[in-house]
Amino acid sequence: MFAKRFTQAQILCGLRIFWREETGGNDSFDAGTRIDHHLESEGISEEIDITEILHDIEQFFRFSCRLEEWQSYFGWDTKDPEEWERKYAPQFTFGRLADFIRERVEAISLEPLTLLGKPCLTAGIFRGLERLAEQINPKTPRFAPHTPIRECLCGTRLHQFWNRLRWIVEEQIPPAPRLPLSMRGFMHSLAFKFGIGLLIALWRRNLQGLLIGVLLTFLLLIPVGWLISFINSRINPLPKGIETFGDLARFLAAATADKQPERT
């Protein structure tokens, strides 16, 4: 679809970040790891709604496609389970998932620009940062190397910018500091507690007590969860010493000088 694409390694790095944030699970998978086997090893195969996960992946990598494309690519429209296991299961890997994504995501180049006949890595990275900021917010004003990053991007958008940049450079920049919270795990915990409460209420024949408990849970825990999410979105993810886009470009140039990815 695009003349330039991210590498499979970059997308896999993004998938690991996504996996940690969305499932709170183990991110120790590689291109050859079967997705269904990984879910089973994590003990979350029954909890995961695959349609919801696909939507979240599209949101994380900023692309969209029809459900039919996913079904056709992974053979989910195959009605015979034995045929799927024989024909498609061996290819149901994180590597193939990464390839599916990279075909649909417009790449951002951080390669050197030629200035006065000489390649300049810092200038190329700054140009890539301009494009990335525009992807996160098309209304981002034009900025110069000396422009403070938080003048153009703040809150949730700054965190989206930082997270996307992290997988593009394959985690050569640190993660944003955050209070530990997985919304998916938080909601699963609430559902589990509700189920236990329902069994106890039925056993004691005290449904009124259950309703009061559920009400108190929502009045106390749900706001706490959203408050933690809000605080995380407002924490400054930028490391000490990085204030401007020029600071960030120079930092990345030093970090990636010996690792310029090949693109197809």
pLDDT in tens, 49-88: 778 888 999 999 999 999 899 999 999 888 888 999 999 8
pLDDT computed for residue 44 by the predictor? 73
The residue that leads in pLDDT, 227 or 72, is 72
Is 224 within a domain? yes
Asked if the model's pLDDT at residue 118 lies above 50, the reply is yes
| pLDDT value, residue 124 | 95
Q: Which residue has the higher pLDDT, 181 or 17?
A: 17
Convert 29-45 to b/e letters by CB count within 10 Å (16 or more is b): beeebbbeebbeebebe
Which one of 54, 77, 102 terminates a domain? 102
β-strands 118-120, 113-115 pairing:
antiparallel
Residue among 63, 61, 51, 50 at smallest CA distance from 17: 61
Distance between CA atoms of residues 191 and 108, nearest Å: 40
Cβ atoms < 10 Å from Cβ of 61 = 20
Same domain, 119 and 243: yes
Last-in-domain residue among 82, 102, 122 = 102
Virtual torsion, Cα 62, 64, 68, 73, nearest 10 deg: -40
Instruction: Label residue 41 by pLDDT band (50, 70, 90).
Output: confident
Q: Is residue 88 domain-shared with residue 19, that is, in the same domain?
A: yes
Is a pLDDT exceeding 90 seen at residue 97? yes
